[in-house]
Structure 1
Amino acid sequence: MFSVIMYHHINSDDLPLSNSDTMMDAHLAYISDHFTTLFPGDPITPGSICLTFDDAYYDFYHYVFPLLKKYNLKAILAVPSAYILEDTEIAPEQRLSLKHHEIYDGDNYKTYAPFCTYTELREMIQSTHVVIASHSMHHVNLSEDSVDLEQEIFGSKVVLEEKLGYRIESFVLPYGKYNNAAVALAREHYSYVFRIGNALNPSWEGIGGLIYRVKGDGLKTADELFNPFKQMGYWFKTMIKMLKGSR
């Protein structure tokens, strides 16, 4: 069994979806000392762990990417491709200035560049510390009837691969919301499909074809996720899900 951890923001006003930069530094230092980080498909060994960061906010590039290099760690960055600019000259302070609820408003993604740019994504890929996953085109709830699943799931892959010159093998389900059609299409086009769920994984197949992720936002201590009581809860949920064979 191995854990996949899910994070979102650094230093955001949305505390349930964020960690401070100092907490993330301490947390990644702890992981570096106790675990081996994996990219999807890497051999799983005792002490393996996989780190995933959703939404490709600029705070990942500004705060987390330097820490990955500092501690020699790997991470997956899930990218909603419709909001990614080629490059920007907007100052970091302005890019980090939006409140969480403002990021997707109107043309704020153009005015403030609150997401990583393609230039930054290419730099991180070349560093070998980051791999890119699709997080759909527009970061929408894929279970809603009005959603164009082909565009959101496959179209996002096409855009990212054309812009990055790089094979996209993983898909991260936005909001943890999906239906059978969305899962089937994601599994048709991607080798690895991730969801929310606070359970562990027996392999890269996950459970029922989906890879479960443990919530890593809002940490109170650097090692909080790894205490015996937390781990027992993850194991218990894993066993239930495996017995049901459910997603």
Structure 2
Amino acid sequence: MFSVIMYHHINSDDLPLSNSDTMMGAHLAYISEHFTTLFPGDPITSDSICLTFDDAYYDFYHYVFPLLKKYKLKALLAVPSAYILEDTDIPPERRLSLKHHEIYKADNYKTYAPFCTYMELREMIQSGHVVVASHSMNHLNLSEKGADLENEIFSSKVALEENLGVRVESFVLPYGKYNNAVVALAREHYPYVFRIGNAFNSSWEGIGGLLYRIKGDALSTPDSLFRPLKQAGFWFKTIVKMVKGS
């Protein structure tokens, strides 16, 4: 069994979806001492862990990417491709200034550049510390009636691959929401499909074809996810999900 951890922001006003840069630094230092980080598809060992960061906010490039290089770690970055600019000269303090609820409003992605740019994504990929996943085109709830699944699931992959020059083999379900049609199309185009669920995985097949992720936001201590009581809860959830098959 191995863990896939899910994170969102660094230093955001939305505390349930964020960690401070100090906490993330200490947390990644702990992981570097106790685990081997994986990209999807890498061989799994007894100390394996997969780190995933949703939404490709600029705070990932600004705060997390330097830590990945410092501690020689790997991470998967889930990218909502409609919001990615080629490059920007907007200063970092402005790019980090939006409150969480403002990021997706109107044209804020153009005027503030709160997401990583393609230039930054290429740099991170070339470093060997980051691979990208599609997080859909527009970061929508794909289970809602009328969602254009072909555009959100497949066209987002095409956009990322054409702009980055790499294969995109992972899809991270926005909001963790899905139905049978969403899963079927995602599995058609991606070997690895990630959801939310606070359970472990025994292989890259996941449980019922979906890889479960443990919430890593709002950490209380650098090692809080790995304490015995927490781990017992994840094991219980894993067993229940494996028995149910989903």
The reply to whether TM is greater than 0.5 is yes
Matches of 1:183 and 1:41, distance apart in 2 = 19
SS of the equivalent of 1:147 reads coil
Q: Tell me the equivalent position of 2:197.
A: 197
SS of the equivalent of 2:145 reads coil
- Residue 2 (structure 2) pairs with residue 2 (structure 1): yes
SS of the equivalent of 2:131 reads strand
Q: Map of 1:72-83 to 2, 5 A cutoff?
A: 72-83=72-83
Q: Tell me the equivalent position of 1:46.
A: 46
SS of the equivalent of 1:50 reads strand
SS of the equivalent of 1:5 reads strand
- Residue 98 (structure 2) pairs with residue 101 (structure 1): no
Residue identity matched to 1:7: Y
Compute the displacement of 1:146 (Å): 1.3
Q: Tell me the equivalent position of 1:231.
A: 231
Matches of 2:145 and 2:75, distance apart in 1 = 32
Compute the displacement of 1:71 (Å): 0.1
Matches of 2:2 and 2:230, distance apart in 1 = 14
Matches of 2:146 and 2:111, distance apart in 1 = 28
Q: Tell me the equivalent position of 1:219.
A: 219
Q: Tell me the equivalent position of 1:14.
A: 14
Q: Map of 1:1-247 to 2, 5 A cutoff?
A: 1-246=1-246
Compute the displacement of 1:145 (Å): 1.0
Matches of 2:232 and 2:47, distance apart in 1 = 16
SS of the equivalent of 1:76 reads strand
SS of the equivalent of 2:197 reads coil
Matches of 1:127 and 1:13, distance apart in 2 = 30
SS of the equivalent of 1:115 reads coil
Post-superposition Cα deviations, 1:70-101, rounded to whole Å, max 9, x if no partner, equal: 00000000000000000000000000000000
SS of the equivalent of 1:110 reads helix
SS of the equivalent of 1:139 reads coil
SS of the equivalent of 1:94 reads helix
Compute the displacement of 1:203 (Å): 0.4
Residue identity matched to 1:93: E
TM-score (norm 1): 0.99
Post-superposition Cα deviations, 1:166-223, rounded to whole Å, max 9, x if no partner, equal: 1000000000000100000000000100000000001000000000000000001000
Matches of 1:237 and 1:162, distance apart in 2 = 38
| Alignment length (residue pairs) | 246
**CA RMSD between the two structures:** 0.3
Q: Which runs of 5+ in 2 are unaligned?
A: none
SS of the equivalent of 2:171 reads strand
TM-score (norm 2): 1.00
Residue identity matched to 1:99: K
SS of the equivalent of 1:232 reads helix
Matches of 1:206 and 1:242, distance apart in 2 = 9
Q: Which runs of 5+ in 1 are unaligned?
A: none
Quote the sequence identity (%): 83
SS of the equivalent of 1:53 reads strand
